[in-house]
Amino acid sequence: MLYSICLYLYFSWVHHMLKWLLHKLTGASELQRICAAKDFGARRAHRLENSLMHSRLGALKRVLAEDDINIEDSVHNIMAVKGIDPDENPQFTKDLRCCLQQICGYKQLIKELEQIRKQPYETKNNEHEEILLKLWNLLMPDTKLESRITKQWGDIGFQGDDPSTDFRGMGMLGLHNLVYFAEEHSTAARHVLSRSNHPKIGYSYAVVGINLTSMAYTFLSNGSLKFHFYNKVKGKPSVEHFHQVYSYLFFEFDKFWVAEKPRDVMDFSRIRDKFQEQLTVKLQDMDTVLETDFSVSK
């Protein structure tokens, strides 16, 4: 409670007094000072986001509240409110635009992925069926699928003869994640699949993959991926950028699983939770970037 009160007092009085004083001394607004002091990355975008969030000017706070923001209009409005001439401050204009694309693009990405997640897998949808078959061909290029309903699906970690039932939690987002990893990082994906079939410490590749979709989506929704995206993407993050995060999680989880030396698959919940806790700490580092330069040892 005391911390909350102190925080409120800081942002409602001390912080604004400091901003006013610095503005008088430097002749530059807080937004200008942030962009001038910080290069591209989370440290700049996060500070600018906080500045807008705690601004006393409603016109600035509304930028973050709007659902479908027009970036160019917002850049123009912010500079007009702050009395900044874009012709005299071209670099600030560019930096402000980049930050707004990152900040507002993150919110838009959550909504875009939520729509994909809500889309259920439909066996009567030919496109869905083709994507599922593509997953098989990517992971098992030398083995022909005998039929649509078959125990072979267990070879890539589905629970039953019909994989469609495993997508209920994450919908088509789970399938798209699996396909992206297998297609864009085929060597790494097949390496992980091979290790998942270990007779003693193996796990269900596809089911775990869908579980990791849930983890990645949770990290996105609760804002944990902001620093990564702000450091990684110069502009609006896309669905592909989310797929890259998923690929990172899958590859790293497999390494973590093996290192934990599980007794059997019943250890999954404990190891998954421990993996998620460690990632949560990692993502709190403002300089963090989840790299997908996978190295596969033979």
CB-CB contact of 155 with 196 (8 Å): no
For residues 290 and 245, what is the distance between their CA atoms, to the nearest angstrom?
A: 7
**pLDDT given at position 20:** 40
* HSE-CB for 70 with a 13 A CA cutoff: 4
Type of residue at 133: L
pLDDT in tens, the chain (298 residues): 666 656 555 555 455 554 444 444 444 578 888 888 778 899 999 999 998 888 777 767 777 777 777 889 888 888 888 888 888 888 989 999 999 999 999 999 999 999 999 999 999 999 999 999 999 999 999 999 999 999 999 999 999 999 999 998 899 999 999 999 999 999 999 999 999 999 999 999 999 999 999 999 999 999 999 999 999 999 999 999 999 999 999 999 999 999 999 988 899 999 999 999 999 999 999 999 999 988 876 5
Tell me the C-alpha to C-alpha distance, in Å, between residue 97 and each of 32, 90, 125.
Answer: 12, 11, 40
For residues 272 and 128, what is the distance between their CA atoms, to the nearest angstrom?
A: 28
